[in-house]
Amino acid sequence: MSSDRWVLRGGRVVDPSQDLDGFFDLLVEDGCVSKIEESLSAPEGCEVFDATGLVICPGLVDMHVHFREPGQEYKESIETGSRAAAAGGFTAVACMANTDPVNDKRSVTAHIVAEAERFGYARVHPIGAVSKGMAGEELAEIGEMVRAGAVAVSDDGLPVKNAELMRRALLYARHFDIPVIQHAEDLDLTGTGVMHEGEVSTRLGLPGIPGSSEDVVVARDLILTEDSGGRYHVAHLSTARSLDMVRQAKAKGMAVTCEVTPHHLLLTDETIAEMEFSSDTKMKPPLRSESDRQALLAGLVDGTIDAIASDHAPHHPDEKAVEFSCSPFGILGLETTLSLCLDRLVRSGTLTLTRLVELLSTGPARILGLEAGSLAVGRPADITVFDSERRVVIDKDHFQSKSRNTPFEGWKLQGGSVVTFVGGRKVSL
Amino acid sequence: MSWARKDLLGIAELSPEEIGLILDTAESFREVAERPIKKVPTLRGRTVINLFFEASTRTRSSFEIAEKRLSADSMNFSASSSALVKGESLIDTAMNLQAMSPDLIVIRHGFPGAPHLLARHLPAGIINAGDGAHEHPTQALLDAATIRRHKGKIEGLKVSIIGDIEHSRVVRSNIHLLTKMGAEVTVAGPYTLMPPGIEALGARVSYSLDEALDGADVVMMLRIQLERQGRMRVPSVKEYFKLFGLQAQHLARANKDVIVMHPGPMNRGVEISSEVADGPYSVILEQVENGVAVRMAVLYLLSGAQGESR
């Protein structure tokens, strides 16, 4: 058992919540940050973590993961999913409701919370379903789920198709000050599509999913959000046009936020051709065009995008070892996100380290109303320590996750997680 | 030159020289069909599996005849296209077949990339006989062989491909091949069956039958399958025929020595009138004839027998 008192010494502390970027020592006591000073001597009985050459930041939060429990533990479980989170530098995740049974009631929410606490690798915040059984007809018992620990609602995996249901969900969620998270997709426009519709889908002969499939739902929902005064969050936003609409909504002062995934920031539909129809390039929303990707990068820089979330979606290798068209949608993300972002977004000069920490910690914590995302004195000591110099080769055979579906296998990156602290305890795997 | 690839998955990755090699080799196999005993010992002792996950009469018989004329031992395997329905995955099916040590596997599959999946997993050479709407390389090669025999060349010709462009693998392989060989390709069809960005493959796009026929040296008509695409694309066969069905009077716009092609199976009175299909400009049956020689060439080159004596 690790000590509950720590001094983290000699590290570069990057904390956008306090506008902090400099060399400080951290004292952690009783599960909370108790001091941040330029030089701290360790009190008696206190363990010291030497963070020389490392970066210390508020614990990373992945606000969009699928842990498959209950019901599909052969893909992932709360235990293995939270181990994957810890390995990837995350101290908290929010897990989507499309389990079996669906997380649409207090008992399922409570099970998830209890399981996660039993292991303690990372905090697991359940996201409840918008509708009962995610059937898109009646509101789920949102208040009951919130009392059991739900931090948001979403039918993710499926869109909320019915406009009246969406309107009512936005209104009802106001009671609890939680966002309604939408998987924005018009299933009629998606049809039989399996990849982004454009030049590449035409060349490969794969049925396309047009960008408009996302855009028409975002457009409708923004109108409903404006009228309802609710909080709306776009999950895995992937198109330039949806991003523009979110930008305009924010300018109007609406309570609208959005997240993007590392794969939509780093890969395009061309990757499917380069990887010769590999099912590890198949997910929803699909990898979009280069111009969409460029727009997303601009949205990271100008602040339109509030969070980077992985949409960690484990699938068993047998399910993915099939024809592209037959494979389920989704890829892993927890164990690749930090290294990808450090190397391809910060090292490349697109983002500052502070902005990255904002996108991976402070931003998502704020959206979900978590106590995380800050190392201010008195806050829970959820801390990520990473090394932005360490050389990393993505190797799926060493993942903590039960699944292996990543398109980033073999990528050589610079930067990666060293250790996490959750509630002042050092997490060991 | 000599052939270096293990598989023939598509035309997109081939060089003009490789295409030329296949066409020249096919030319030398043509005479086998004219012999009283239509058989050469070239692939004696080699095993070829025809793995068809989609109904096909023309392509499968053409490959089978090509294999038999080359004295290969061939075997047919038909199955349903969907891994979900079938219960056995494509890779498992293929691994079972691989255990019988075939030299080549010819695969037709409803989903793009299925031949690529096999090519990654199996040591046998893989020949794509059509994968969804992606590619159908031997069809494009036999089309090219037919055009070359009639026109003496491909470079500089105006080729128009008309019909359901979106769902056609034939059109994609043909655009790749014909543009690599220097032809000018136009694709034409209804707005609702035109895939976005097809220009990026090197084709000009038209939405008018008359415009597409203007000055054409070669006209290829494509099958339209309303049962598959549904009525959201084209309201009826009758209306389609009025917009894009090829009739004799249309051909006045084309070059006077135009040839009319169709990869089959043909819907008379839907995309082409019988008058044109059976008329003087039609080379449709020659395409079928050339198919055998082209497939003999492909089987021969991929078998690695080229390095040995023939």
Instruction: Evaluate if residue B81 carries a pLDDT over 60.
Output: no
**pLDDT at position B84:** 45
Q: Kindly list the residues from chain A whose CB atom is less than 8 angstroms away from the CB atom of residue B132.
A: 205-206, 325
Segment B159-186, tens digit of pLDDT: 999 999 999 999 999 999 999 999 999 9
Q: Kindly list the residues from chain A whose CB atom is less than 8 angstroms away from the CB atom of residue B197.
A: 198-200, 202-203
pLDDT band at B309, cuts 50/70/90? Answer: very low
B195 contacts A201 by C-beta, under 8 angstroms: yes
B133–A contact, CB cutoff 8 A: yes
The alpha-helical segments, DSSP class H, found in B1-159 are 16-29, 58-69, 83-86, 90-98, 114-121, 137-151
How much of chain B exceeds pLDDT 90, in percent?
Answer: 85
**How would you classify residue A19: left for phi > 0, otherwise alpha for psi between -120 and 50, otherwise beta?**
left
Residues 6+ apart with CB under 8 A from B208: B188
Structure tokens at A259: 């997240």
B232–A contact, CB cutoff 8 A: no
Q: Are strands B47-52 and B73-78 parallel, antiparallel or unpaired?
A: parallel
**pLDDT at position B14:** 98
Q: Please report how the helices B137-151 and B169-180 are oriented relative to each other, as an axis angle in degrees rounded to 10.
A: 50
Interface predicted TM-score of the whole assembly (ipTM), two decimals: 0.93
Instruction: Evaluate if residue B86 carries a pLDDT over 90.
Output: no
Please indicate whether, in this complex, the C-beta atoms of B134 and A205 are within 8 angstroms of each other.
yes
Q: Kindly list the residues from chain B whose CB atom is less than 8 angstroms away from the CB atom of residue A324.
A: 111-113
CA distances from A374 to A58, A86, A355, B49 (A): 5, 18, 14, 63
Segment B102-134, tens digit of pLDDT: 999 999 999 999 999 999 999 999 999 999 999
Nearest Cβ partner for A202 among B113, B116, B197? B197
Q: Within 13 Å, how many C-alpha atoms sit on residue A283's CB side?
A: 28
DSSP states of B77-109: EE--S-HHHHSS-HHHHHHHHHTT--SEEEEEE
Torsion B57-B59-B60-B65 (CA) sign: positive
Segment A77-108, tens digit of pLDDT: 999 999 999 999 999 999 999 999 999 999 99
Residues 6+ apart with CB under 8 A from A9: A25, A40, A42, A48, A49, A50, A51, A52
Looking at residue A400, the DSSP 8-state letter turns out to be: S
Segment A323-343, tens digit of pLDDT: 999 999 999 999 999 999 999
B208-216: average pLDDT:
98
- How far is Cα A277 from Cα B90, in angstroms, rounded to an integer? 14
- Active-site residue (options: A25, A104, A156, A311): A311
pLDDT band at B85, cuts 50/70/90? Answer: low
Q: Which helix (H) or strand (E) holds A148?
A: helix A142-148
pLDDT band at B307, cuts 50/70/90? Answer: low
**pLDDT at position B310:** 42
**pLDDT at position A3:** 56
**pLDDT at position A1:** 41
Quote the minimal CA–CA distance from A271 to chain B in Å.
14
SS3 B226: helix
Q: Is A311 a catalytic residue?
A: yes
**pLDDT at position A367:** 98
Q: Kindly list the residues from chain B whose CB atom is less than 8 angstroms away from the CB atom of residue A199.
A: 196-197, 200
Segment A268-323, tens digit of pLDDT: 999 999 999 999 999 999 999 999 999 999 999 999 999 999 999 999 999 999 99
B40–A contact, CB cutoff 8 A: no
Instruction: Evaluate if residue A411 carries a pLDDT over 90.
Output: yes
Residue with tokens 């009025």: B242
**pLDDT at position B208:** 98
Best of A323, A324, A327 to substitute, by most chain B Cβ atoms within 10 angstroms, is A323
A419-423: average pLDDT:
98
Residue with tokens 């068809």: B52
**pLDDT at position B229:** 59
Binding-site residues on chain A for chain B (CB distance < 8 A):
197-208, 276-277, 318, 321-326
Mean pLDDT, chain A, whole residue set: 97
**pLDDT at position B228:** 62
End-to-end CA distance of chain B: 16
Closest chain A residue to the Cα of B228, Cα to Cα: A192
Q: Kindly list the residues from chain B whose CB atom is less than 8 angstroms away from the CB atom of residue A322.
A: 83, 89-91, 117
Q: Kindly list the residues from chain B whose CB atom is less than 8 angstroms away from the CB atom of residue A206.
A: 112-113, 132-134
Q: Point out which residues pair with A27 in neighbouring strands.
A: A7, A35
**pLDDT at position B139:** 98
- Tell which wins on pLDDT, B80 or A33: A33
Quote the minimal CA–CA distance from B197 to chain A in Å.
4
A352-361: average pLDDT:
98
**pLDDT at position B225:** 75
- Tell which wins on pLDDT, A414 or B82: A414
- How far is Cα A64 from Cα A61, in angstroms, rounded to an integer? 9
Give the lowest-confidence range in A10-19, B99-108, B222-231.
B222-231
B132–A contact, CB cutoff 8 A: yes
Instruction: Evaluate if residue B278 carries a pLDDT over 50.
Output: yes
Amino acid at A127: I
Burial class from Cβ neighbours inside 10 Å (0-12, 13-18, 19+) for residue B70 reads buried
pLDDT band at B83, cuts 50/70/90? Answer: very low
B201–A contact, CB cutoff 8 A: yes
Nearest Cβ partner for B116 among A197, A199, A277? A277
Please indicate whether, in this complex, the C-beta atoms of A325 and B112 are within 8 angstroms of each other.
yes
B212-231: average pLDDT:
86
User: A with B: how many residue pairs have Cβ under 8 Å apart?
Assistant: 73
**pLDDT at position B232:** 84
How much of chain B exceeds pLDDT 70, in percent?
Answer: 95
Segment A137-153, tens digit of pLDDT: 999 999 999 999 999 99
SS3 A224: helix
Please indicate whether, in this complex, the C-beta atoms of B196 and A206 are within 8 angstroms of each other.
no
Structure tokens at B86: 């079938």
Please indicate whether, in this complex, the C-beta atoms of B132 and A208 are within 8 angstroms of each other.
no
3-state secondary structure A18-84: HCEEEEEEEEEECCEEEEEECCCCCCCCCEEEECCCCEEEECEEEEEECCCCCCCCCCCCHHHHHHH
**pLDDT at position B80:** 65
**pLDDT at position B230:** 64
Mean pLDDT, chain B, whole residue set: 93
